[in-house]
Amino acid sequence: MPLEQYKDIVATACSVTTIAQSFAPVFMLIEIVKEGHTHNHDSTPFVGGLVMCTLMLKHGLIMNDPVMLQVNLFTIVLNVIYFVVFYAYTINRRNLHIQVSKAAGFVSVILGYAYVEASENLEHRFGLIVTVFMFTLLSAPLFGIKEIVRKQDASNLPFPMILSGTIVTFLWFLYGFIIQNLFIQFQNIAAFALCFTQLTLCILYPGSKKKKDVKKQ
């Protein structure tokens, strides 16, 4: 394959951009700290991020892929820190506790499944599970697309995370293409499409930021 010679370069780019992307929630956390609470912020990116990193780490172990292992070990540590900060500023924690309990139960079931599944089927089937969860997590903000278009306001979408996600998913798709792994290709081209759609909404409907500027004038 002509791109095989660029495998190490693309792998490095994937690692660097994924690690850079993992710092995107910092912008949301800065807003939370300034506001002193999490009322205007969804916990899904933080809880879902922990689940996704855990499943991706397990997927990397199954595939014995050093790039995936290194990246996801690092991002798990960061996501734990992010969640702790988010939790510290959550006033009504009951719903968050329920969400975390459900997430922990889901991860336990999936990891348990990985231990009992036959080795010859594990990589394929576990990859399918990771793919479905990734789509669910990334597509969640799009459930409110009608409201976004109606109000012409996409300011509630986490722009830094979406922008970095668009870049990272494209690079991981390219890496999957080079190593000829269909799951990595499929996961990331679909994830790229979801991120790009949200990015387009953010650009078309910046929303409240413009409204605030008009009010100030």
From the list 148, 182, 150, the residue with the least C-alpha distance to 162 is 148
Q: Binning pLDDT at 50, 70 and 90, where does residue 208 land?
A: low
Q: Based on the structure, what is the number of domains in the chain?
A: 1
Largest CA distance in the chain: 65
CA–CA distance, 11 with 177 (Å, rounded to integer)? 12
Segments forming the whole domain that contains residue 161 = 2-216
Give the closest residue to 201 by CA, choosing from 168, 143, 138, 159: 159
- The Cα–Cα gap between 107 and 101 comes to 10
Write down how long the chain is. Answer: 217
* pLDDT of 217 over the 60 cut: no
Q: Could you read off the pLDDT of 152-207 as tens digits, one per residue?
A: 888 777 787 788 888 988 998 998 888 888 878 887 888 898 889 888 988 888 86
Q: What tens digit of pLDDT does each residue of 34-83 get?
A: 888 887 777 888 888 889 888 888 888 888 878 778 888 888 898 999 99
Residue range 125-148: mean pLDDT, rounded: 79
Provide the token pair at 87.
């939790």
Q: Count the neighbouring beta carbons within 10 Å of the beta carbon of residue 147.
A: 11
Give mean pLDDT, residues 110-135. 86
Cβ within 8 Å of residue 144, ≥6 positions away: none
pTM: 0.69
Give the separation between CA 29 and CA 10, rounded to whole angstroms.
30
Q: What is the pLDDT of residues 76-101, one digit of tens each?
A: 898 999 999 999 999 888 989 999 99
| Contact present, 199 and 162 (Cβ < 8 Å) | yes
> What pLDDT score was predicted for residue 98?
93
| Per-residue pLDDT at 209 exceeds 60 | no
What is the SS3 assignment for 179? coil
Beta strands in 135-182 (DSSP E): none
